[in-house]
Chain A
Amino acid sequence: MNTRSIMIVGVGGQGTLLASRLLGHVLIEQGYDVKVSEVHGMSQRGGSVVTYVRYGDRVHSPIVDEGEADVILSFEILESARWISYLREGGMLVTNTQKTWPMPVITGAVPYPENIAEKLGAMANVTAVDALKLAEEAGSAKAVNVVLIGVLSRKMDIPEEAWLAAIDAVVPAKFLELNRRAFALGRNA
């Protein structure tokens, strides 16, 4: 299979790294060659963060370039706008509708753009969900990452058991129930 590319984008502190670990785990269990590339350090302090997940028979580049992503999984709606140029023609955006104000908006230097989901919807194939609401329903705002993995799981041709097995393998035992609920809510959203 040709290499496929998924980007996970969000705000430092939102738990994107757990999402990429889950995804990496699932893809390896499906027998793919996998590369997952993330940036640690500075940007984790509330900055814009991106993780690249690539899989196929033989993956070379660890990064995804503009116009290459088959799927973008976005944790925050402004980040969807920021990274949309990375989506390939016919690709799919799965996005949280949550808004987290960046510092230039907080200081009043610029406004937070309006109607991003609608505008993106006119440009590309977009699935938008309120993952924060679902995470709170599952029991914790921190479970946004697993809710979004649940939403993504519906769009990929991989059996549900494989996702559940990855959650069992990657998530610490005491958060397992919470994350299973979060996954189910995302998957059925």
Chain B
Amino acid sequence: MKKLMLGNQAVARGLWEAGCRFVSSYPGTPSTEITEQAALYDEIYAEWAPNEKVAAESAIGASLAGARAFCAMKHVGMNVAADPIFTASYTGVNGGLVVCVADDPGMHSSQNEQDSRHYAIGAKLAMLEPSDSQECCDFAKAAFDLSERFDTPVMLRTCTRVAHSQSMVELYERDERPLKPYEKNPRKYVAAPANAVARHIAVEERMEALRAFAETTDLNRVEMGDTDVGFVTSGTCYQYVKEAFPAASVLKLGLVNPLPVQKIADFAAKVKKLVVVEELDGVIENHLRAHGIRVDAGKDRFDPKGELSQNRIRAAMGAAVPASLKYDEAVPGRPPVMCPGCPHRGLFTVLSKLKLTVLGDIGCYTLGSGAPLQAIDSVVCMGASVGMTHGFTKVLGPDAARRTVGVIGDSTFMHSGMTGIVNLVYNRSIGTVLVLDNSITGMTGHQQNPTTGLTLQNEPTTAIRIEDFCRGVGVKRVRVVDPQDMAATEAAILEELASDEPSVIIVRRPCALLKYVKAKPALSVDPEKCKGCRSCMKIGCPAIRFTDKKASIDATLCVGCGLCEQMCKFGAFVNPSKAKEAE
């Protein structure tokens, strides 16, 4: 049977068909749906870990116990998980172990566009790269086979266009695998220096064996056509090449580390020009050049920044691109914004008013950096807000500390904010950190996390209380505020900034998109009372418009949160919920 499947859904199907039993991941676009889909299969135990390092370690443990195990992450998640994975390369596996890394060329929803292939090279791991949903399923299965055959973790690299495109997949039955017996083997699994020296030899021998395998496997395939140009490519770029030059010869790589140098050399000998098409860095190209293989075009023509496409490939090759229409007026941009009713809006309105230096973090609240709030000074990586608040205030001293806060979401706090809090206490910081607790992992589409009291399957579990954690590690000044009450939020922030010890304010209100958060009736504006002062426009609400010198509300968007009402000095907003309460 064939089915239209998202790339991520097809990876999950491949896991299931391969007999995988254990999946632990941390969400991150574009990898998130793999784990959500894997959780739908009864035979797979799936969970959200607090971060990618814990996810990878859990999967390594499950592999040691003899199960086929898996974890998925976005490209930057690999930075977090790299420590265990680099050494799991030395220990090897018991049950097959596959790590999926989803790159995001073009940065549709990421803070950088690093190329994960460098990790496969650095950690000396085999890496497979599918080019559509069918291959997502097939390569997930192949990855488990390679993992067990070569005693190694195997990486599966996707990108946004593969992960988030749907195409047809042929479905098969599950290949149920008994657990491989666990046998104590410290020489293999205890990566202490004496053992690791021997294991490094095993790693190098394994790479040698994988290089030989790369030359013959049908994961790498030659499609001979016109011999004027031969393309070497992989992943989604293969699809673009086939679209732009259907008649050309192509060497399609499914195994992108290690590369089949001889196979590529043989292919190069059969074509007049060898062109390497790869997104982001020139990894394949550089490798071929290092081996003395003639490359006629590569990164000199294909931009290392952003995505490629059929037109970019046509243009780079000097072929015609289709004519296109031009709209001859400037079209205003449409950046993503906080939703109507977003609990982050009240807090950022206060931060913007107080003109504080705000060391930010990653999540929906990063949108507080956009106009009109523009309330964020820095964003680096998950958890960085807390560490940066420490360093920033240590250097600039108490006066600056009274004008500086770090902001971090609940999921991000659990991911990597906690150790930063420990550091604030340990190193006698006077920094103030605001934890924006909207009771969900919002940005990636509503995943549960350790603070929500629910598992990936929405089953009840212990909810970790952020305030208990902070008090437990020695933060004496911990308090909770509701960002809906902007006056109280402002007062709390000013008080904590004035104190000479570390403080944590938990800014708590659930995400407006959660099912149990009910929208209230839309507000409206009394045009008689509106003086056109634009105070309400400062909150950056998509439901408020300003026409003919008056504010008005788009009732199809407004969820009745009433923040605009708090901004108005003239009582111009009519709030049906309040009118009801008064009755």
Contacts and interface: CB of A to CB of B under 8 A. Distances in A.
Contacts of A109: 332, 371
Given A63-B161, A89-B323, A123-B325, A41 B30 contact: yes
A128 to B, nearest CB: 15
Interface in A119-167: 119-120, 123-124, 132, 141
A61 B371 contact: no
Contact of B109 (A38, A41, A85, A88): A41
B339 interface: yes
A67 B320 CA distance: 11
Contacts of A120: 327
B331 interface: yes
A62 B130 CA distance: 13
A40 B30 contact: yes
A102 B372 CA distance: 12
B324 A85 contact: yes
Nearest to B167: A35
Contacts of A102: 332-335
A69 B167 CA distance: 19
B329 A113 contact: yes
Interface of A: 11-13, 24-25, 28, 33-48, 59-63, 65-68, 78-79, 81-82, 84-89, 100-110, 112-113, 119-120, 123-124, 132, 141
Contacts, number: 191
Contacts of A113: 329-332
Interface of B: 4, 29-30, 32-33, 108-109, 132, 160-162, 164-168, 236, 239-240, 242-243, 246, 309-311, 321-327, 329-339, 364, 367, 370-372, 443-445, 534, 537, 540-542, 544-546, 554, 556-557
A47 B325 contact: no
Contacts of A123: 325, 327
B326 A103 contact: no
B317 to A, nearest CB: 14
A103 B540 contact: yes
A157 B239 CA distance: 27
A10 B544 CA distance: 19
B545 A106 contact: yes
A39 B108 contact: yes
A37 B164 contact: yes
21 contacts: A12-B336, A33-B167, A35-B132, A39-B160, A39-B164, A40-B445, A43-B108, A43-B336, A44-B336, A67-B311, A67-B322, A67-B325, A81-B329, A84-B325, A102-B333, A103-B542, A106-B537, A106-B545, A107-B372, A112-B332, A113-B332
Contacts of A107: 371-372, 537, 540
A125 to B, nearest CB: 11
A41 B325 contact: no
Contacts of A67: 311, 321-325
Contact of B556 (A65, A87, A103, A141): A141
Nearest to A32: B168
A94 to B, nearest CB: 15
Given A28-B4, A106-B546, A62 B324 contact: no
A24 B167 CA distance: 10
Nearest to A67: B322
Given A24-B166, A34-B167, A101-B545, A42 B29 contact: yes
B353 to A, nearest CB: 16
A24 to B, nearest CB: 6
Contacts of B310: 61, 63, 65, 68
B542 A101 contact: yes
B443 A42 contact: yes
A41 B165 contact: no
A37 B132 CA distance: 11
Contacts of A24: 4, 166
Contacts of A42: 29, 108-109, 336, 443
A105 B332 CA distance: 7
Contacts of B236: 62
Nearest to A39: B108
A41 B443 contact: yes
A115 B443 CA distance: 35
Contacts of A48: 333-334
Contacts of A105: 332
Contact of B327 (A101, A103, A119, A141): A119
A87 B372 CA distance: 33
Given A42-B109, A65-B321, 13 more contacts: A13-B339, A24-B166, A28-B4, A35-B132, A40-B164, A84-B327, A85-B326, A101-B542, A102-B334, A103-B334, A106-B542, A106-B545, A108-B534
Given A61-B240, A67-B323, A33 B443 contact: no
Nearest to B555: A141
Contacts of A106: 537, 540-542, 544-546
A107 B33 CA distance: 35
A37 B337 contact: no
A104 to B, nearest CB: 5
B167 A59 contact: yes
A28 to B, nearest CB: 6
Contacts of B331: 78, 81-82, 113
A24 B29 CA distance: 23
Contacts of B364: 45
A75 B58 CA distance: 44
A66 B161 CA distance: 17
Nearest to A123: B325
Contacts of B165: 35-38, 62
Nearest to B326: A85
A108 B444 CA distance: 30
Given A45-B339, A104-B332, A110-B332, A87 B167 contact: no
Contacts of B333: 48, 102, 104
8 shortest interchain CB distances as A-B pairs: A67-B322, A41-B109, A41-B29, A47-B336, A67-B324, A62-B165, A42-B109, A102-B334
